[in-house]
Structure 1
Amino acid sequence: MVAEWLIAVAGAGGSALAGAVATDAWNVARGGLSKLFGRGGDRRAALAGRWADETAAAIEAADDRPAVLEREARTWQQRFADLLEEFPEAAEELREWADQVRRELPVAHQSTVNTFVARDDSTQYNALNGTITIHQHHPGARPAK
């Protein structure tokens, strides 16, 4: 099982790769895959290149680009998570690669990637690029004066 923080790194990588399609960042994104996946040998590095080309083709041909971008980002998140499960020492390299790809994106395509995980009956409040103020009132409790 891959640790949650590694899943977050994998998610950032998946979003970066999908976002780089059809931009000047594509060459940086695709080129970095060989090194990342090359840990598993030349065959895996070549396979990652083929997957990247298939991803680019799917996104470029999409009628519903946002949905395909999201699907492809999730697919790559899983591929990166699998890579990190086998080679956890690659996490920092993956994080640096994803950051580099995002820096290469046109400003209009740059985005923040957030991964939120709620579990075990927890309550989670998320505000992308914003602020949330929570005031919890418990049944039977008197409000503060």
Structure 2
Amino acid sequence: MSAVAAGGSALAGAVATDAWQSARTGVTGLFGRAGQRRADLAEVWTDQTAAEIAAAPAEQQVEVRQRLARVWQQRLADLVEEHPELGEEVRVWAADLRQRLPASESKWVNTFIATDNATQYNAPGGSITVTNHPGERPAS
């Protein structure tokens, strides 16, 4: 889901910007729709994300943001998998957040979209090895 990818990237990009409080409140609210425990976890996770990015040396900031973007993408994907009715809310939140990001923070945000039963492999800032056997589909 492209909203999950965009949301995770935008959230990591929002740290230390004017968009951060809105991003934090929004993602906490999304997780809160799945229960108070999830909202509480999201608050802890957002605080940890901000602290980890702030503590990273300047030369490692992009790497740290990219790694944390992937973490948030997985968290959002898990949320939407468990609660598919939240998919549209995640999409709206991610689109709004991306609009709020300063240009300097949105330049590294990656969005990958695969459609029509396509298989897509992405490794922004990293590497990936793929062995593909035509005709075989990975188990869902």
Which of the pair has the greater relative contact order for Cα pairs under 8 Å at 6+ separation?
2
Same fold (TM over 0.5): yes
Moved over 4 A (4+): none
Matched-pair contact (CA < 8 Å) for 1:103–1:110: no
Residues 1:114 and 1:68: Cα distance change in structure 2 (over 3 Å): same
Quote the Cα distance in structure 2 between the aligned partners of 1:114 and 1:12. Answer: 6
Instruction: From 6, 25, 49, give the equivalent of 1:55.
Output: 49
Larger Rg: 1
TM-align CA RMSD: 1.9
- Distance apart, 1:116 and its partner CA: 5.2
Quote the Cα distance in structure 2 between the aligned partners of 1:62 and 1:79. Answer: 22
> What is the correspondence of 1:56-75 to structure 2 with a 5 Å cutoff?
56-63=50-57, 64-75=60-71
What is the percent sequence identity of the aligned residues?
A: 52
Matched-pair contact (CA < 8 Å) for 1:29–1:101: yes
Partner amino acid, structure 2, of 1:20:
A
Structure 1: unaligned runs, 5 residues or longer: 1-5, 125-145
Quote the Cα distance in structure 2 between the aligned partners of 1:34 and 1:83. Answer: 12
**Residue of structure 2 in register with 1:95 after alignment:** 91
| Helix, strand or coil at the partner of 2:23 | helix
Cα-to-partner distance string for 1:83-119 (whole Å, 9 max, x where unaligned): 0001111111111111111111112222453215564
**Residue of structure 2 in register with 1:83 after alignment:** 79
Instruction: From 39, 43, 51, give the equivalent of 1:45.
Output: 39
Match status 1:114 vs 2:108: no
Tell me the TM-score normalized by structure 1.
Answer: 0.72
Match status 1:13 vs 2:7: yes
Quote the Cα distance in structure 2 between the aligned partners of 1:26 and 1:70. Answer: 16
Q: How many residues align?
A: 115
